Structures are given as C-alpha cells and as structure tokens.
Structure 1
Amino acid sequence: MPTVPKIISVDDHIVEPPTLWTDRLPAKYRDRGPRVKRMKGQYGVRDGKGFFDTTVTEGPHTGWSDVWLYEDMVAPLTAGYAQYGLAKESRDPVTYDEIHPACWQQDARLKAMDANHNEASICFPTVPRFCGQTFMERTDKDLALAALQAWNDYILDDWCAGAGAGRLIPLSIIPLWDVELAAAEVHRTAAKGTSSITFSEAPHALGLPSIHSGYWEPLWQACNDTNTVVNMHIGSSSRMPTTSPDAPQFVGVTLTVQNSIHAVADWIWSGIFNRHPNLKIALSEGQVGWMPFFYERMDSAWRRADLYDPHIREVLPNPPSTYAKNHVYGCIFDDLTGLRLRDTIGMDHIMIEIDFPHSDSTHPHTQKVIADLAETAHLTDEETRLLVRGAAINCYNLHRYGITH
C-alpha cells in the first residue's frame, strides 16, 4: 500500500465567527452589516431562495438557529454548513453552541486537521457564499465592499495567521459587481499574502458578463501578474444541474461535475490562457474523470474549425488540450476513474480535497480513503505524493508559506 504523506486539502470551509463583521466593520455599518440573531423557526425555500420561517416553531425540522441578517438577507445556520459531528439533516437549524468548534475556531480546526493527517487547508466562505454572491446581491455597495474586505482581512490577519500560518492557506473573495474593484482587491490581498481568489464557474448565471465578453480582462491580468489562482467551486454560479423539476436529489448529485465541464470549455475556448500564460484555475469538487474525453472533443472541433469558425485558430494557435497543461487543475475526493486516467490528465494536475465540515467530507478518515484509492489505482509513492500535496504546492505556490515537497 502506498505511503500517504501529510495531506494538503484544497477545498474545505469556514463557518464565519458570529462577530466577524460586528468586530471589524466601521461603526456606521455595524447595525446594517452581517450580524447574528438567535431565532426559532424552520428553514424553507421561496422563489428559489432560502429563508427562515419564524411562524413555524414546532415540527420535525424546526428549532433554534443563529440567523445571519444583512439588508434583506435572512440566512439561518443549518446543519448542512457544519455537518461534522451533527446527527441532524442538512436543512435542520442549528446554533453556534451545537456545531463543532473546528467549524469556526482556529485552534479547534488545527487540532481536527492534526487528527486527520492534514497539514494544510484552503477554506471557502459560508456566509458570503462560494464566490461572494451575498455581497454582490446587496443594494449598498459601499457597505458590501467594506464587508467583503473585512472577510478578506479576517482570513489573512486572523484565521491564517499565528498558529494557522503555513497551515491555513488564505483565499480571498472579490467584488464581482465591478471588475476594476475586483482587480484592485486582487492586488491588495496578494500584497498581504493571499494564494487565490474564488470566482463563479458561470458568471452569466449571476447576471454578470460572460467569460467570452472580454469584460474580465483586468481581473485576469491582475491574477496573472500576482500569480493568484482562480478557484471555481461547484455551485458558485448559484445553480446546480438537474434534469427536471421532479428529479430526485440523486440526479443532481450525479450531475454536479457538469458545472466544471462548462467552465473549462468556456475558459479554454475563450483564449484566456493564451493571453495570460501565468493564469491557473482550480475546479473545486469538479472531479477529473471527464477531462480526457472533453479535451479530446475540443481538439477534434479545433481541427475541424473550417466547418465552424476558422478565426478560432487566431484565438487558440494550438490545440485546446495543450492549454490545460499548467492552467487547469482538478480537485477530487473519490475519483477512481480519474486516477486510472492520470497519464492523460497529468498526475501533477490532480489535487485532493477533504471538504470539512460538510456532509461528504472524508474527515477523519481521509488518510485511509487516500490509501485505498492509491492502492486500487496502483499509484506509486511519487504519484500519491503528487495527489496528496505535490500538485497543490505547485498550483498555489505554497513554498511561500514554507510548505515544501
């Protein structure tokens, strides 16, 4: 059985401390910025948006919740955001007193990582949502920018500092509503030590310009110039693939990787990597087993460009698959098919994720899960090292945090 070295997880999550914004926002914003109020009720969905119904206080899925309030947002803390250690369904309301301290306290998180053979971790936001949609959707953009920067500064100055330095790797969010502000925030947070930003896998689904529009060029240039990786987490388009309104949940669970497939097609065909040679993207929860076929499909279309649009060869002088190298990184937790196709994908482009504290997290058994995957896929010790840490070190330039080999 291959040796499993200390793990670097490129996809975990932080549940923000309840006083993050009230502690950090200027006084004039504190009563309007994100804040917590304990309420009793039931989580529900109305017009496609989640809400907390305080008129329903008795029932199988009712209870006390620490509810995040911010302008028109009423977002209850539910078990799905902090599933580790909870014997509750994902939609059940919970409070900070109930969830595991490792969800939101640095010292407890580091102990949980130690117990899981986990050296380092990149954490995505919860209250801001995967790519900051919470701030984009609010009306007061001055407050939104202040709240967004407060989150980034908390991650850089508190969560990833002190005992967390070199173990909790900083990720930043950007103001999606203004590309110039977004580029400026990349430069600001990169100067403070961030490794990456999070972005939408399909910005047009959020009502923003598409990848093909050219609108985002200042942002990509900023990321290219600062070696900032662009993370696209499944669901960062605020939508998930399904087949029909009455399809069971497992249909959607099966199809989640479609979001990453669409994102890679957009990014490669747009020519972004040809224009920005240092730019990298990471597909959080995107898996990789689909990559060989879709790269082959894109190359086939490129060779037959005369039938579609010969201009594409000016955008992409080389076959599309060649732009995946050193630009597109996949993130997996159980993709045995992808590992068996590693010679086509590139073992140095496949990274592992733990997804703590969500329900599909492999914590606290990640070391065994990886050992079983490596044995079944016949990975060598070096291939296992690349999966567990080597690819992440190279992708995110983790040497800057003292993480090597």
Structure 2
Amino acid sequence: MKMEDLIIASVDDHIVEPPTMFDQHLSAQHKAIKPRVLKDKDGADFWLFEGRRAGNIGLNAVVGRMREEYGCEPISFDQMRKGSWDIHARIEDMNANGILSSLNFPSVVRFDGELFHHFNDMGNALILLRAYNDWHIDEWCGSYPGRNIPNAIIPYWDIDATVAEIKRVVAKGCHAISFSDNPSLRGQPSIHDAHWDPLWKVCAENNVIINIHIGSGAAAPHASMDSPIDAWIVTMPISIVNSAADWLYLKALQKYPTLKIALSEGGIGWIPYFIERADFTYRHHKAWTYTDFGKKMPSEVFREHFLTCFIEDDFGLRNLDAIGEDNVAYECDYPHSDTVWPDSASMLLESVKHLSREQIDKVTHGNALRIYNFDAFGMMGGRENCTAAALRKLAGHVSTEAVSYGGPAPLAPGETRRVVTSGDITKMFDHVRNADGRIEVEDLVEPAE
C-alpha cells in the first residue's frame, strides 16, 4: 500500500480546552457561573471552576517539543503547540500527520468529565457539562465536518440525567461517550450493579459506544518513588487490563448484542494472552464460580463487543487473527508524549505492510468509522480526499520542526543528570497543581493573554 491509498482514523487523541470554550454555550442567565481561564503570579494559566482552581490545563501536551523536553509539563498555552487547543491549528497538524479523523478526550475536565462530579452545586455541574458537550460537538467537531468524531461526557452521578444527555447528544450526531473504567473508584456503583441498566440500554438502542480511557478510574500504579519513570510508562497502557477483565463479565453484553466498549489507549499486544486466559478460567473454574457466558466463550464475547487500539504494536498486529481484525483501530494520542506525530502515516504504513489490503483498511480506519457511526468519506466529498497523501498535500506550509517550549521539568535546574524516577515526576506535578487538582485561589490573578 502507498500513501495515496492509506486512510487513517485515530480513536484516541486529546483536547486542551481553549479559554473560549464556554463563551457561546451558556445562556444569559448562566453567564455568572461560566468558568474562566486566569493566569497566576508564576505565569501559569489555569481554569477556575466554582471558585476553585482546576488542575493543569495541558496534562502531558508535549507534542512538537524536542524529545529532551518530553518530561516537562506545560503550564500555559504558549508552552504548547497551538494544535493542542486551537481547532484550526489542530486540523493543520492532522493534515501534516496524514490523519483523516480523530476522536478526542478532554483534559482539564478529565477523561470522563470527573471534574464536574465534585461540584458543590450539581445543578450548575449539569449545565456546564452540557455546555462542554455543545462546544465539543458544535465547535470542535462541527467546524470541520468529517475530521473530528464527537465524544460526549456524561453526568453519571445522576442516571436519569445521564440517559437524557445521551439522547440529547445522539440527536446532535454523537455516538460515543466517555465513561470511567471503574466507576466504583469514583464513588459510584460498580458496573455490575443494576443501577447502570438504563445506561447500557440507551447506549445499545442508539448505537453509542462507551469509551473507557486508561486512567479514568483505575490508574497505573508506581512500583515505588525510587523506580525509574520508564517502568511506569511501560505499564501505563496495559494498566487497563484489570478493568478490561471486569467489563468482560458485564451481564449487559449478553443482553445487548450490539453494545460496544472501547479500551482507549490500551494497546493490543497483550490481548491474545488475555482472552486465552479468560477462556481457560471459564473452562477450569466455572463449576464453582457459576459464571455463565451462555453458549459462547469469553474470547468470543470480547471480539464481539470490544474495540481496541494501537500506536506501535508489531506483536499485536502479527497476531491479529487471535485478537480479531474487526475490533482493532489506530490511535495517534496527540498531543501526549506517546504520539509519533508528525510521522504517524509513514510508521503505520510500515507496521501494517504484512497485512492484506482488506485488513489494512479495517485497522487503519474502517473499524473506527463503522463502530463510531462516522461517515467521514461522505462529509469529505469522497475517499480520494481522505488519503494520507491528499491530506499531507494540504499541509506544505505547516512546520513540524521540534522546538523548545520550556516549563517545569522533573530534574531541578543545574541538577546532575540522572535517571528520572516516579518520585521526580510526582513532585513535579505536585508543584504544578495540588494532587487532587482543586486548589483554593488565594493569590492575585489576572486574565490570561
């Protein structure tokens, strides 16, 4: 396959929310509760929600930096590549990378919208969550039809409001929601509780896929504060394995054959053993655990209901038959440190060269566009406008040269170079924000430029 044939849809990218996010999506009576971006005396831009300072605006938004700065944490918009937060610049960066379509997760409101769950006034939380979804669907996705796949957040502290919001965003053309991989860690019932039955039902009936992103409940643990941070980075994607096992036993998957779950940013190489182990466990232990998958094996259920994704995963692609070629998609992870921007197209082409044309089309874009009910070809005026080669031709003016943006670093200025540890990264984030991301604002602040 050549660039002229390759089409790429990414099912895992991220937005750094721009300061104008709420400007057009709150009624006059609600303007008083509008969150805003301020700048503190140290030059850090931050969002103010309900009078409290939210966490860092651009968690790990290091795309476009020199590799030596991948460990730095941007604290202001001018320390990030503009495509991180500006939709017009994002489209240019997608073109430069050969990416047709992209599904994006939030940053400051957290992957599953958890920030709103901690409001004092839950009525205001719902108003702002709906405003976020309107901005995301109408502005971020609506500005360039065919380019960004809508992904709504839900008020899952209230199941009735959740069902209503899903129906509302479906009417706006959104068929994806972001949910916690383990809501019990958010103070909510487990996914096995009947409390969530209305959620599964509304998603199945409206062809809405449930995205569970790594770190949206169960986070990858640090072995120790002395451990090299590399050890944590290695295990971060596959940290979703425990949640994946839990979701595999969700009874709703038997009740609703069309219900789909996406393991966002989880990789694929671990899946062959995972589903093999699930089948062994079922055969070997069901006599005493009383687990019942009906006439199917767990591996069959996984292939029917789960979407997985990869950035660079040669082992997984070599074992595509074990995973299932109909439930694998590509992810770019822009603007986070795992992204290979601006080289996604060329690296992906190399990764899939051993596959058939049909398989390549499935894992590079076909599965994603089908499962997310997203007609990118129709919105873009035909397949010929959607190839990596066609898009890259539009980006001849876009600079992809790595630059220095600065920002807090894991090692102190002048400190002797050594292996960066989990403790170093933890301290850096503690410096940038409170551990829980909810800092009372006491310093004088001024509007960000």
Deviation at 1:201, TM superposition (A): 0.9
Relative to structure 1, is the Cα distance of residues 379 and 216 closer, same or farther in structure 2, using a 3 angstrom cutoff? Answer: same
Answer whether contact 1:84 1:357 (CA < 8 A) is retained: yes
For residues 66-81 of structure 1, the aligned pairs below 5 Å read: 66-71=45-50, 73-75=52-54, 77=56, 80-81=59-60
Q: Which residue pairs with 1:252 in the alignment?
A: 232
Q: What SS does the corresponding residue of 1:330 show, helix, strand or coil?
A: strand
Task: Give the distance between the partners of 1:211 and 1:219, measured in 2 at CA.
Answer: 10
Answer whether contact 2:55 2:108 (CA < 8 A) is retained: no
Task: Give the distance between the partners of 2:34 and 2:187, measured in 1 at CA.
Answer: 23
Relative to the length of structure 1, the TM-score reads: 0.87
Q: What SS does the corresponding residue of 2:125 show, helix, strand or coil?
A: helix
Is 1:113 paired with 2:94? yes
**Equivalent residue for 2:374, pick from 385, 391, 398:** 398
Bigger mean CA deviation after superposition, 221-230 or 83-92: 83-92
Consecutive unaligned residues in structure 2, runs of 5 or more: 384-449
Relative to structure 1, is the Cα distance of residues 397 and 205 closer, same or farther in structure 2, using a 3 angstrom cutoff? Answer: same
User: One-letter code of the match for 2:373?
Assistant: N
Is 1:188 paired with 2:168? yes
What CA deviation, in whole Å up to 9, does each residue of 1:247-286 have, x standing for no partner? Answer: 3322221222343212221122122210111110111110
Q: What SS does the corresponding residue of 2:289 show, helix, strand or coil?
A: coil
Is 1:387 paired with 2:363? yes
**Equivalent residue for 1:158, pick from 133, 139, 146:** 139
Relative to structure 1, is the Cα distance of residues 24 and 394 closer, same or farther in structure 2, using a 3 angstrom cutoff? Answer: closer
Relative to structure 1, is the Cα distance of residues 295 and 76 closer, same or farther in structure 2, using a 3 angstrom cutoff? Answer: closer
Deviation at 1:242, TM superposition (A): 3.1
What CA deviation, in whole Å up to 9, does each residue of 1:280-334 have, x standing for no partner? Answer: 0111110111112121111122223454223x22x54421111112311111101
Is 1:291 paired with 2:267? no
User: One-letter code of the match for 2:83?
Assistant: A
Please tell me the root mean square deviation across aligned C-alpha atoms, in Å: 2.2
What CA deviation, in whole Å up to 9, does each residue of 1:317-367 have, x standing for no partner? Answer: 421111112311111101111111101111221100111111211111001
Deviation at 1:5, TM superposition (A): 0.9
Q: What SS does the corresponding residue of 1:6 show, helix, strand or coil?
A: coil
Q: Which has the higher contact order (CA 8 A, sep 6+)?
A: 2
Q: What SS does the corresponding residue of 2:303 show, helix, strand or coil?
A: coil
Relative to structure 1, is the Cα distance of residues 76 and 207 closer, same or farther in structure 2, using a 3 angstrom cutoff? Answer: closer
Q: Which residue pairs with 1:342 in the alignment?
A: 320
Deviation at 1:78, TM superposition (A): 5.5
What CA deviation, in whole Å up to 9, does each residue of 1:99-150 have, x standing for no partner? Answer: 3222222222111111111111111111211000111122211111111100
Q: What SS does the corresponding residue of 2:48 show, helix, strand or coil?
A: strand
**Equivalent residue for 1:308, pick from 265, 288, 295:** 288
Q: Which has the higher strand share?
A: 1
Answer whether contact 1:354 1:366 (CA < 8 A) is retained: yes
Q: What SS does the corresponding residue of 1:329 show, helix, strand or coil?
A: strand
Relative to structure 1, is the Cα distance of residues 208 and 323 closer, same or farther in structure 2, using a 3 angstrom cutoff? Answer: same
Relative to structure 1, is the Cα distance of residues 131 and 78 closer, same or farther in structure 2, using a 3 angstrom cutoff? Answer: closer
Answer whether contact 1:122 1:171 (CA < 8 A) is retained: yes
Q: Which residue pairs with 2:21 in the alignment?
A: 20
**Equivalent residue for 1:371, pick from 345, 349, 354:** 349
Deviation at 1:209, TM superposition (A): 0.9
Task: Give the distance between the partners of 2:100 and 2:230, measured in 1 at CA.
Answer: 32
Q: Which residue pairs with 2:36 in the alignment?
A: 35
Relative to structure 1, is the Cα distance of residues 79 and 151 closer, same or farther in structure 2, using a 3 angstrom cutoff? Answer: closer
Deviation at 1:234, TM superposition (A): 0.9
What CA deviation, in whole Å up to 9, does each residue of 1:365-394 have, x standing for no partner? Answer: 00111022123xx22232222111111122
Consecutive unaligned residues in structure 1, runs of 5 or more: 42-63
**Count of residue correspondences:** 378
